[in-house]
Every structure is written in C-alpha cells, then in structure tokens.
Amino acid sequence: MGFETLMGDEAIALGALHAGLSAAFAYPGTPSTEIMEYYQDHAAREGDIVAQWCANEKTAYESALGASYAGRRVMVSMKHVGLNVAADPFVNSALVKIKGGLVVVVADDPGMHSSQDEQDSRALAEFARVPCFEPSDQQEAYDMTRKAFEVSERHSCPVLVRITTRLAHSRAVVELGSRLPQNPVQKAADRWGWTLMPHSARGLWRDLLAKYELLRAEAEAEAVIEAGSSEVGVITTGLAREYYLENAGEMAAKPTWLHIGRYPMPYAKIRELCGRVKKVIVIEEGNPLVERNLRGILERGPAIEGKESGAIPLTGELTPDNIRPALGLPPRAGQACRDIVPAKRPPQLCQGCPHIDSYAFLKEALAGYPQRSVNSDIGCYTLGAMAPYDAIETVVEMGASVGMARGAAAAGLTPAVAVVGDSTFYHSGLPNLIDAVSHKTNMTLLVLDNDTTGMTGAQPTIIPGKRLKDIAVACGVDPAHIHVVDAHKKDHAANVEIMKRELAYEGVSVVIAVRACIEALKKARKA
Ligand code: SF4
C-alpha cells in the first residue's frame, strides 16, 4: 500500500510481486533488463521468490512453464527480439491449460535505441492467440500486470504484457495495492491439458479458439468510447494515449475517441466508433496493427488514417509532436531550431575495453585474405563494425555469427570467422558449433570472454567463462585447436600468431580471448 516513484519496468516487477509472484526467469535485453534486476535485489533481501537469469529466452520461457505447471504464479521477461527465440514455447503454450498464472513481459524498442529491428510483439500475441495488455503509463503497468495473473489463471492461458522503451525507462508515481500471498505448490491435475499430442492438441486448439472470443468479449467490455465530433474519430493504443492527450486540447473539435489497452481487439467497439465518424485516425506505437485490422474488418465506412496511410510516421518512435499533422494541428511554435546541429554521439566501446585488443589481433591475422568472412553477433562487440575497428562484416541476431560462418565456409569463403561474446555463445551459438563440428566445417570461432553480459549492464554470464574450453572439447573440437589467450596488448604478437595458425587450419578451431569487462569490474568493486 502507498505510493512509489517507479520506472515502467519496476512497476511491472512490483505489480507481479504484489500479485503473489513466486518465480521469475529472464534473459537480459534492453529495455526489459531492469525487471529481473529488481527481482534479484528483492530476492537477495527477502529470499522469498526465485529470480534467475537463463541461458536464453527459450530456456527462460520453458522454466516459467514448469513453474506454472507446479501451480505457482510466474513471470518471464525479455526484449522483443527475445520473443523470436522463445516463439516455440510461447506459441505452443497458448494451447496448454495454464495452472499458476503465467505472464510474459515483452519490451519492444520502436526507434531501435538498442535493437536490430522494430518488431511489434502484439502481432506475435495475435498470431499465437495469446491475450495481451498494453499499459499506457506506469500506473497501468502496475495494475495491468496484477490483472494479467488473474486473467491467466481464470482462462488457463499465458498473458503477454507489452511495453515499449519510453515507458520501460521513464518514471512516475504509482499507487500500490496490497501484496497477495503466493499460490501453494499444486501441480496441474489435467495431464492431457499439458501433453500436446495430436489427439489432445486438436481439442485444446478448439478450446483456445473459443477462449479467445471470451477474452475478446472482456476487452469489449473494458473499451470505452468517449463521445465527440462526428467528423473525426481517434483510436489510441497503449502509450500513444499520452501523446494524443497532450495534443487533444488544441484540436478545433473534440474527436470521438476509443482507447485500446488490451487484446484481442474489441471489434464491436471499433465498428461502433467507425460508424459514428467520417474519418478515423489510428495512433499506435509499433506496427500499424489496429489500422490494418480496421481495413480488414470494415466493409465500408470512414476514411482511415494512420501509419499505413502515411499520416503518421511508419518508422521510429511516436512523439507528441510527430502525430500533430495527423490531428490537423500545426507544428508547435518555437520548437524548430535549425541553427543548432547536435553533435552525433554514436555508441562506442569503453576506453580499455578488452574487445579493442581482440579486434586488433584478429584484424592483423586476417590481413591478406580478400575472400574472408567475419561474422559477429549481438553484444558490446557489435561495435567492432564501426570505425576505427571495421573488424566485422555481419550482425543479424543472437547466435547467428557461428551459423553464418559455417554457411559462408560451406559456400567457399575462406577463412570463415565467427566472433561472439561468451554470453551470446551460451545463448544460441552453442548448437551451431555442434553443427560445425559434425560437418567438419573449415572455420574459426573467436569467443570474446569477458565473463559478463556487458551490453545490458554487466549481468553474470550463465556459466563462468573458464568452462568454455571444456564445452568446446565436449562439442568435439580437437583440443590441439582450442586456445585460451589473454586479450591484452602485451600478448598482441603471440595472439596474432595463434590466430594466423588457426585461420590456416582446415577444420573447426576455437580461440577464447579472456579479459574482464571494465564495467563489470567497476560494478563488482562497488558491490
Ligand atoms: S561494457 Fe564492458 S564489454 Fe562493453 S564496451 Fe564497456 S568494457 Fe567493453
């Protein structure tokens, strides 16, 4: 009870804790990382919940499923691209008879502040037929998370809570409720509700389709149309409500307005709004999901304006300013400042970062190989693509470096190199190494082992880096072609020689460049 000033991530974490959370699982990823950090601080103080980082989002999701099966309320959190990694358990778990409330928090990153794409998790929720809540502020983040557990248990389904960077990382005062007790351990009694074999899954699929319409009816009941002009209607979703309200007072006539905070989409309310006005403006963060549905569900009706029509920018984050033209409002007076061009501040590796020395020996060893392929991955070392390093050529998604190096080698590029951090290697590089060994691929894997997940704030790596050599041996790499080197300037010449030798080797070789992340050291000293 009482009030606290909370970031959106913290409001979600506390909402779940107050809803009787017993366990939380996650893989770090901006902008969702702070949720697990909140739980780990809490667990260290109180010791009354399980709070664990996992090898990747799929393993985190599966751990959460197990806790739900045991009857406990559980949360799994990740960033938007993490949901791609967890897509298999996410989509299939929509069919099982969830026992303890299972809430999946996914933080999307429109504007790509720290991500490789702008995908919208509402689309995956719709695809899987998983209900979704989309809070518009920190208070709703707290309240909706609490409610999500209740919906999850009442309908026996996972519930997705979708937020975006701006909400995840901004603070506001939140009124808190009381903390509910945790569920007792009591495993699901309906075994065929958890065993997806064709004969059981067919029935569960039919149940899910029926359940989804019940969930839509609940969304209909909660969606309210605020009466206004018969000329213009506005539909907002999630955080876009705040941007709209910041501008609405300046509009000549108050539009008729529908806000959507939960999905499945309230089709009847949308049809009702569209029947009352001549033009509808859809303001939503991410993909034009509602707008596209609107075009599909209306047989005839008003003109529809939004991201698809070009009235609202299709890429980047929404702001109170960039939705003004769609609302028929002029730019705000005094906001243009053409004379000042802010200096560009591209992200950079920290001074003294071990990756700088690793890239130095890699580049020198690669000199003279015009047909090389240097594939990298997601982490601080992604910045090796930028000047002055210019050391890597591809970055696509978690773990892709190892698979792409394998494919490039199979296609004839020599030498083929994968550069991956220790945490990302455990996340999803490992199965690719097994492929490489099994097909005797001609490639070199360079693992940058700084013993932390540096980019997201120095969370501990799931297994200490000193186990990497054993893991490579267990995968079948010849021990004579596994080297653990010190990623330091003083060892530059020796490291160049080792790298050159392994680039020339025909088979899978592994070089593990070890040196601690500066930020992790600072954090450890502070702790
Ligand atoms: S946080 Fe660590 S790994 Fe990342 S750039 Fe800084 S020193 Fe390097």
Which residue's CA is the closest to the ligand 1 atom numbered 2? 517
Give backbone dihedrals phi and psi of 400, rounded to 5 degrees, phi first.
Answer: -65, -25
In this prediction, residue 215 carries a pLDDT of: 98
For the chain, the C-alpha Rg in angstroms (whole number) is 25
Ligand 1 atom closest to Cα of residue 458: 1
The pair of three-digit structure tokens given for residue 179, joined into one six-digit string: 């903390």
pLDDT band at 295 (very low <50, low <70, confident <90, very high): confident
Question: Considering only CA atoms, which of 17, 13, 31 is closest in space to residue 317?
Answer: 31
Give backbone dihedrals phi and psi of 367, rounded to 5 degrees, phi first.
Answer: -55, 135
Own/partner long-range contacts of 144-149 (Cβ < 8 Å, ≥24 apart): 144/15, 144/261, 144/262, 145/11, 145/12, 145/15, 145/16, 145/19, 145/103, 145/105, 146/15, 146/16, 146/18, 146/19, 146/177, 148/101, 148/103, 149/16, 149/19, 149/20, 149/21, 149/73, 149/101, 149/103
From 455, 488, 515, give the residue whose CB has the most ligand 1 atoms within 8 Å, as the site to mutate: 455
Q: What is the pLDDT of residues 303-326, one digit of tens each?
A: 888 988 889 998 889 999 999 999
Report the SS3 class of residue 23: strand
Q: Give the CA count within 13 Å in the CB-facing half-sphere of 216.
A: 15
Ligand 1 near 517 CB (within 6 A): yes
Ligand 1 near 383 CB (within 6 A): no
Q: Report the amino acid identity of residue 10.
A: E
Cis peptide before 131 (omega within 30 of 0): no
In this prediction, residue 443 carries a pLDDT of: 97
pLDDT band at 282 (very low <50, low <70, confident <90, very high): very high
CATH C-level class of 2-221: alpha beta
Sheet holding 482-486, edge to edge: 394-395, 373-376, 416-421, 443-449, 508-514, 482-486
The pair of three-digit structure tokens given for residue 361, joined into one six-digit string: 């020996």
Ligand 1 near 380 CB (within 6 A): yes
pLDDT band at 331 (very low <50, low <70, confident <90, very high): confident
CA 457 to CA 424: how far, in whole Å?
A: 14
Q: What is the pLDDT of residues 246-272, one digit of tens each?
A: 999 999 999 999 999 999 999 999 999
Q: What is the pLDDT of residues 370-406, one digit of tens each?
A: 999 999 999 999 999 999 999 999 999 999 999 999 9
For residues 144 and 177, the answer to whether their CB atoms sit within 8 Å is: no
Q: What is the pLDDT of residues 94-106, one digit of tens each?
A: 999 999 999 999 9
Q: To the nearest whole percent, how much of the chain has pLDDT over 70?
A: 99
Please identify which residue in the block is written with the tokens 């080197």: 485
In this prediction, residue 84 carries a pLDDT of: 96
For residues 257 and 233, the answer to whether their CB atoms sit within 8 Å is: yes
Cα 425 to chain centroid distance, Å, stands at 18
pLDDT band at 359 (very low <50, low <70, confident <90, very high): very high
Q: 128 to each of 52, 230, 273, how far by Cα in Å?
A: 26, 36, 27
pLDDT over threshold 90, residue 189:
no
Interval between CA 11 and ligand 1 midpoint (Å): 28
Ligand 1 atom closest to Cα of residue 348: 5
In this prediction, residue 526 carries a pLDDT of: 85
**SS3 of 343-395:** CCCCCCCCCCCHHHHHHHHHHHHHCCCCCCEEEECCCHHHHHHCCCCCCCCEE
Indicate the Cα dihedral angle 510, 514, 519, 521, nearest 10°: 150
What element of type H or E holds 21?
A: strand 21-26
Ligand 1 atom closest to Cα of residue 421: 3
Ligand 1 near 379 CB (within 6 A): no
CATH 3.40.50.920 domain residues, the chain: 223-327
Ligand 1 near 353 CB (within 6 A): yes
In this prediction, residue 298 carries a pLDDT of: 67
CATH 3.40.50.970 domain residues, the chain: 2-221, 354-526
Q: What is the pLDDT of residues 445-479, one digit of tens each?
A: 999 999 898 888 888 888 888 899 999 999 999 99
Q: Give the CA count within 13 Å in the CB-facing half-sphere of 523.
A: 14
CATH C-level class of 223-327: alpha beta
Q: Which CATH number fits domain 354-526: 3.40.50.720, 1.10.3720.10, 3.30.70.20, 3.40.50.970?
A: 3.40.50.970
pLDDT over threshold 70, residue 426:
yes
Please work out, in degrees rounded to the nearest 5, the angle formed at the alpha carbon of residue 443 by the alpha carbons of 438 and 445: 95
Least confident segment among 13-17, 338-342, 399-403: 338-342
Question: Considering only CA atoms, which of 328, 278, 284, 285 is closest in space to residue 304?
Answer: 278
Ligand 1 near 355 CB (within 6 A): yes
Interval between CA 212 and ligand 1 midpoint (Å): 45
Q: 378 to each of 43, 81, 92, 105, 106, how far by Cα in Å?
A: 29, 11, 27, 21, 18
Q: Report the amino acid identity of residue 111.
A: G
pLDDT over threshold 90, residue 512:
yes
Q: What is the pLDDT of residues 480-507, one digit of tens each?
A: 999 999 999 999 999 999 999 999 999 9
How does the average pLDDT of the chain come out, rounded?
94
Ligand 1 near 385 CB (within 6 A): no
Give backbone dihedrals phi and psi of 228, rounded to 5 degrees, phi first.
Answer: -170, -150
In this prediction, residue 335 carries a pLDDT of: 63
For every residue of 258-315, DSSP letters joined together read EEE-EES--HHHHHHHHHH-SEEEEE-SSS-HHHHHHHHH-SS-SEEESTTTTSS-SS
Least confident segment among 84-88, 144-148, 217-221, 315-319: 315-319
Across the range 396-420, mean pLDDT stands at 93
Strands (E), 136-202: 159-164, 171-176
The pair of three-digit structure tokens given for residue 293, joined into one six-digit string: 């549905």
From 348, 351, 353, give the residue whose CB has the most ligand 1 atoms within 8 Å, as the site to mutate: 353
Q: What is the pTM of this model?
A: 0.83
Interval between CA 358 and ligand 1 midpoint (Å): 13
Least confident segment among 9-18, 152-161, 309-318: 309-318
pLDDT band at 31 (very low <50, low <70, confident <90, very high): very high
In this prediction, residue 299 carries a pLDDT of: 64
Ligand 1 atom closest to Cα of residue 383: 5
Give backbone dihedrals phi and psi of 156, rounded to 5 degrees, phi first.
Answer: 50, 50
